[in-house]
Amino acid sequence: MRLYILLIFCICHVALLAQPGSLIGGFNPDTVTIKAGKLFPASTGLFSLMKASGFPNPTSASYTVQVALEQEDQIQIQLFDVYGNRQYEYQSSSPSKNHNQTIDFSGLAIGYYTLRIVSSTDVQLLRIEKL
């Protein structure tokens, strides 16, 4: 019985790996929107009142995050390493439709990071590579 369950798990895992783009439903997880516990590609704008982007990616020194909202709101930005450790946090001080924040990556280790951007209505994740 255990072997049967393991075999099904392996087959499902290989099927997910075979999806074009990524492990998450066949789209590239560089930018996703989370709504009601489900992931959506942010490029579709599905259910999203926030458009978040950043540059340069990959980066070696600094990374600029730009967030555009449909209505004025405060945002919170958090940067996590691959182990889930928070490396950076920012909370806007006043509501605005447009937010820009520069993050210093120079003191961080080489690797991948997840940027979490939260407003009162949305959460978006951006994947950033540090060279």
For residue 87, the domain's CATH number is: 2.60.40.2550
Give this prediction's pTM.
0.67
1 within domain boundaries: no
100 within domain boundaries: yes
17 within domain boundaries: no
Domain residue limits at 126: 29-130
Task: Categorize the per-residue pLDDT at 38 as very low, low, confident or very high, splitting at 50, 70 and 90.
Answer: low
For the stretch 92-111, pLDDT in tens is 999 999 999 999 999 999 99
15 within domain boundaries: no
91 pairs with which residues across the strands? 76
- List the end-to-end C-alpha distance of the chain, in Å, as a whole number: 46
